[in-house]
Structure 1
Amino acid sequence: MIVEFLGDFGPVAQRLDMVPAGTLVAVSGTVTRVQVLGADEPRAIVTLTGLSGESAQCAVDTERYLDVWDLLVEETPVQVCGKVRRPLKNMPALVDALAIRPAVVASAREFTLRYTTADGRQVRVLPRRGVETVGRLLMKLADRDEVWDIEVLDGDGGDVTFGFSCFADERAVNA
C-alpha cells in the first residue's frame, strides 16, 4: 500500500514495504479488519485497504485504542499517522499508529442492490466490493430458488447488474 512521508526533498509517496523502519508516515484507507487483543488493556491490529485493493496493517496501542475505538469499524475511511516497524525480518512492514482520524477517501461509487426473497423485496446500498461479496452469496441462493429478481442500479438508476463479475456468468446463461 502507498504511504506518504516527508523525504529529504519534500513529500514522498512510496509503497510501505519500501520505506525504512522508523520513518514517520501517513496512510489512508478503509478499515477492512480489526483484531482486538487483550481485555483489560485492549489494543488492536487494524487492516486498512486502499482503492487499489492493497492493504496495510496498523498496530494501535491501548492508549490510542481507548481514544479512537469508535473509528475502528469496518468500512470506515481513516488516516493513520505513525512509524514504520518490521516486527520480524520475513514479515511485512506495519505502521505503529500515533494518530488516527477520519479521512475523506476517494471512495468507490455506491450502488443499490435489489433482490426478492420469501420475505419480500430487499434493498441495500453498497460500494462495488460489497456488491461483489453479497452478489456471490445471492447467486448461490438463487441457484436454490431462495432469491430472485436480482438487480444492481448505479447512482442514476441505470441497471449495471452485469457490470459485476459475480453476475456476469448469469448473462451468458440468459442470453
Structure 2
Amino acid sequence: MRIRIAAVLVTSASITALSLAAGAPALAADPPVVVAGPVSSNGGISRATCPAGTTLVGGGYDARHDINGVNNVIDGLDLFAPDWQNANSWVAAMHTGQVRAVAMCAKGSGPAPRVVVGPAVKADYSKATCPAGTQLLAGGYTSTPATNGLGQYVDDVDTNSPNTDNSWLAKMAIGTAQALALCGS
C-alpha cells in the first residue's frame, strides 16, 4: 500500500512541543496512531476517523488513479483535508479513481481541533486562517478541477501548504480550490 502522509506534525516529540506552545495540555509521548479508512468507490469519499482517546493531527491518502489507454493519469484528488463535517476525521476523494484516507492521531485528551474553511477561489490562492488562541496543526483542500471534453482531469493543485501567518493555503492551476485548516487550542 502506498500511503502519503501530509502533516505538519510527524513525531510524538513535535506533537508535545506544539501542544505546549499552543497552551494545550501536553499530549502523551506515545507515537501517533495511524488509521486508514476504507477504499472509496470510483469518485467517492474515503474517511479515516481517529479512535476515542486520540486527536486528529494530520492525514494522508493512498490513491488509485484512473489511467487512459496510453498510460496517462486522467484524474487527481478533489478532496484532501480534515473533515469539516465529522470531527476528528480526515477525508480524501479522487475525481474518478479510488482513494483511501489516512488519519494521524495523537494519543491524549484535550479539546478536539476545529476546522476552518477558506473561500472557494478560481486559479488563485484560497486561505484558511486559524482564529486567535489556536495553532495551525495541518490542512488540506477541496477543489473543482478543470476537465477536458472527455471528463478527464486536466488540472492540478499548485499549492497545498501551511503559511507563516497561522493559516493554510490551497490553489488550483485552472480550477477552483478551497483551503481547510485544522486548528488546535
Larger Rg: 1
Both structures adopt the same fold (TM-score exceeding 0.5): no
**Larger helix share, 1 or 2:** 1
| TM-score of the superposed pair, with normalisation by structure 1 | 0.23
TM-score (norm 2): 0.23
